[in-house]
Structure 1
């Protein structure tokens, strides 16, 4: 371990690999609320977070487990679930009075068509104003689940129609 008068110990969350403080400072300085997207093994989490001096405040949250209420029968950790969760998040944000945000993907690698960008596509499709580039978003067949149906048609069943039905049910929640 390095020692000496000029050695600087990194912040705990940086040492644990949980926070990139350079990226975080850029997002916080913007003054807009952040659409925080986190992908776990079993679910997708979208939150609208506002930074404050005493800490961050979560204003709106949507979880992929909530999609069952809207008729979604698929797995809650895949790309269509991320798309629908982003859409549900945007509807909840609109109903709470928020119209814009900036995307915060944390330490997730920005890969073209990734699940975090499927959630972004769902939020933008519902009408939330989030700056983004069109080339990073997954294509429509992927967010509707066509790739899952092609890979395992016996397990997927009518996933494509189920995603479209859940999409319509979520948009009916918009006030």
Structure 2
């Protein structure tokens, strides 16, 4: 068959519809977004809440978001850079940190709703697949806070970190519809989840195992790659206790203030900036400066 060049005529261009800007930029999957935000038409003022998980090079962003006509609104948020307050100072983008960030978001959301005492979730993470069920609130059954996972354009491969954040939020007391098929330790042949493997990831066991292997095989690279761990005295044997203690601290106070936070207000910094700002001089002062300069030159 001979090659025929496709000619785009004026009819093509006159009917061409440009896609949404964020679709052109490759930032939003509108096919998925439409299904995540569209609520049943027989409900009034009952938005769908989304558990939005995003990863950067140095941080993990988790948010509970709902949509309105004017745009999306953030109901609650938690970030991995808040984990140092609870004792997790290194590896803020790994699987265990994603779980801790999701747990922090869940507890913070339930505290805001006043449901933290009724929906505790899984206090001792054992790696088992569990969904949050309804509880009795004031002698009446109350369904848990429901949110749907929004992964954006992230690939949903088995064992991905995005499911670590989801698992943390689920164990924290939120109801997030999901199955066990995407967690680390799930066997696609037997269709079963190895709870021990999942628990190992939750408490940073995979990181500890890599640290031990690297220390035996290449000590120089081990000291280079885990220098910050070694400076703070964090070893492979103590990672599990570190994460377990952090989980307890998150449950005790999910809104813990940063001890290193700058407590000085705007007035203080405004006064500081005024010190170095040149003040505008009056017309009389300008004339006086000119006359002073003329007098100096005549000498």
Please give the TM-score of this superposition, normalised by the length of structure 1.
Answer: 0.93
Structure 1 distance, partners of 2:180, 2:251, is 22
1:51 to 49, 67, 81: 67
Q: Does 1:146 align with 2:155?
A: no
Q: CA deviation at 1:100?
A: 1.8
Structure 2 distance, partners of 1:55, 1:131, is 24
Judge conservation of contact 1:49–1:58 (CA < 8 Å) in 2: yes
Q: Does 1:90 align with 2:131?
A: no
Structure 2 unaligned runs (5+)? 1-6, 40-46, 116-144, 185-197, 216-225, 230-234, 256-299
1:63 to 63, 79, 86: 79
Judge conservation of contact 1:34–1:102 (CA < 8 Å) in 2: yes
Aligned to 1:165: 245
When structure 1 is superposed on structure 2, of 12-21 and 129-138 the one drifting more is 129-138
Cα deviation digits, residues 127-153 of structure 1 (max 9, x gap):
111101112123111121111111123
Structure 1 distance, partners of 2:172, 2:88, is 17
Show structure 1 runs of 4+ deviating over 3 A: 153-156
Structure 2 distance, partners of 1:137, 1:119, is 11
For the pair shown, which has the larger CA radius of gyration, 1 or 2? 2
Structure 1 distance, partners of 2:110, 2:159, is 25
Please give the TM-score of this superposition, normalised by the length of structure 2.
Answer: 0.55
Judge conservation of contact 1:74–1:159 (CA < 8 Å) in 2: no
Judge conservation of contact 2:104–2:254 (CA < 8 Å) in 1: no
Q: Does 1:106 align with 2:152?
A: yes
Q: How many residues are paired up?
A: 175
2:50 to 34, 59, 76: 34
Provide the secondary structure at the position in 2 that maps to 1:24. Answer: helix
Judge conservation of contact 1:87–1:126 (CA < 8 Å) in 2: yes
Structure 2 distance, partners of 1:126, 1:173, is 13
2:31 to 13, 22, 26: 22
1:120 to 166, 170, 174: 166
Structure 1 unaligned runs (5+)? none
Structure 1 distance, partners of 2:182, 2:242, is 25
Cα deviation digits, residues 18-75 of structure 1 (max 9, x gap):
0011100000014321110001111111001010000000110100011111111322
Structure 2 distance, partners of 1:41, 1:79, is 14
Structure 2 distance, partners of 1:132, 1:114, is 14
Aligned to 1:133: 179
Q: Does 1:13 align with 2:22?
A: yes
